[in-house]
Amino acid sequence: MGTPTISANCLRGLIEHGFNIVAVITQADKKVGRKEIITKSPVKLVAEEYNIPVYTPIKIRLDYEFLKEINPDLILTFAYGQIVPQGVLDIPRLGCLNLHGSLLPKYRGASPIQAALFNNEEVTGVTLMEMIKQMDAGRMYAKKEVRIEKDDNATSLFNKIGDAGLELALEALPKYVDGLLEGVPQDESLVSFCGIIKPEDEKIDVNCSAKTIYGLIRGLSDNPGAYLYLDEAKIKIYKADYVSGEYSGENGEIIQADKNGLLMKCHDGAIKILELQKEGKKRMDYRSFINGNQNLLHRYFK
């Protein structure tokens, strides 16, 4: 059960390593782009390539009778995108497992990969866990750490997590099926949560710390992108760095705009903007932006 590219890569890897995938459940086809082209999920495309039956229930909690007929030994989910009901969890004789994109019990919830970047973590990972009714609260069977490099953003970290998820599945699933993994309960005192990222979460608050803004930019890049306004124009910031130190001026003020950098003041330092996109324009580096927008110094991002 999965939907995006990281799930599709995992599915392909399991198939190529001889796992008998009897069915795939993924999100329904969606309209994509301005032309609203009907698009299949990456997982569906891989399943069809290998002639595996695909099911796309609009709401799995209301539509899962077909699973009783399939009668799988085990269900593995990875970024499926819906809450799986107890009725589904009860079907497989070996239960349901989930590859969760964090080192549980940290970052239970919908956006663990982005949350690690928002909080400027240096290490995150994947946990193979038991699926139970409570969200991401089941026993943990195996983990794999992933180091977060300075240049990582959500796009690159999703790829790393996807690769680690496949490696973990290939290593741990045979042991689980053979009854060699006991599972460890999560320490409830260490639990943290991360929710669905909403459009209003994408707006940068210039009054936040430089490190907080830096984390938000990384966690939302390359898609959907964190943004600010310059005058009335929406500006998406795709790549940045943060600079410590004391700077005069007000939060959001452009305190440098030359070949050496585009800096926005924060209350505890500055954000050095490296790649950005003005509404209606192409994504560009800061030098190109400065060349096309004169007299930026002492204007304000809001």
What SS3 class is residue 59? coil
pLDDT band at 194 (very low <50, low <70, confident <90, very high): very high
Give the pLDDT confidence score for residue 118 in this predicted structure: 98
In the three-class reduction of DSSP (H, G, I as helix; E, B as strand; rest coil), residue 215 is classed as helix
| 78 within 8 A of 112, measured Cβ to Cβ | no
C-alpha separations of 47 from 17, 200, 276 in Å: 15, 35, 37
Question: Would the CA dihedral through 237, 241, 245, 247 be positive or negative?
Answer: negative
Separation CA 78–CA 97 (nearest Å):
9
What is the topology classification, in CATH, of domain 5-194? Answer: Rossmann fold (3.40.50)
With b for 16 or more beta-carbon neighbours within 10 A and e for fewer, the 153-166 pattern comes to: bbebbbebbbbbbb
pLDDT at 114 over 90: yes
β-sheet with 75-77: strand ranges across:
75-77, 96-100, 123-130, 140-147
Write down the domain spans for the chain. 5-194, 199-292
pLDDT band at 32 (very low <50, low <70, confident <90, very high): confident
pLDDT band at 33 (very low <50, low <70, confident <90, very high): confident
Average pLDDT of the residues in 265-277: 96
CA 160 centroid distance within chain: 11
Element (H, E) at 177: helix 154-177
Condensed to tens digits (0 to 9), the pLDDT of residues 116-162 reads 999 999 999 999 999 999 999 999 999 999 999 999 999 999 999 99
Average pLDDT score over residue span 78-89: 96
Burial of residue 37, with CB atoms counted within 10 A of its CB: 0-12 exposed, 13-18 middle, 19 or more buried: exposed
Identify each DSSP E strand in 44-109 by its residue range: 54-55, 75-77, 96-100, 108-109
- CATH architecture label of 199-292: Roll (3.10)
Predicted TM-score (pTM) above 0.75: yes
Tokens at 210, concatenated: 């430089």
pLDDT in tens, 225-261: 999 999 999 999 999 999 998 899 999 999 999 999 9
For residue 81, pLDDT over 90 is answered with: yes
Distance CA 226, CA 203 (A): 6
pLDDT at residue number 246: 87
Strands 24-25 and 54-55: parallel
What whole-number distance in Å separates Cα of residue 27 and Cα of residue 9? 16
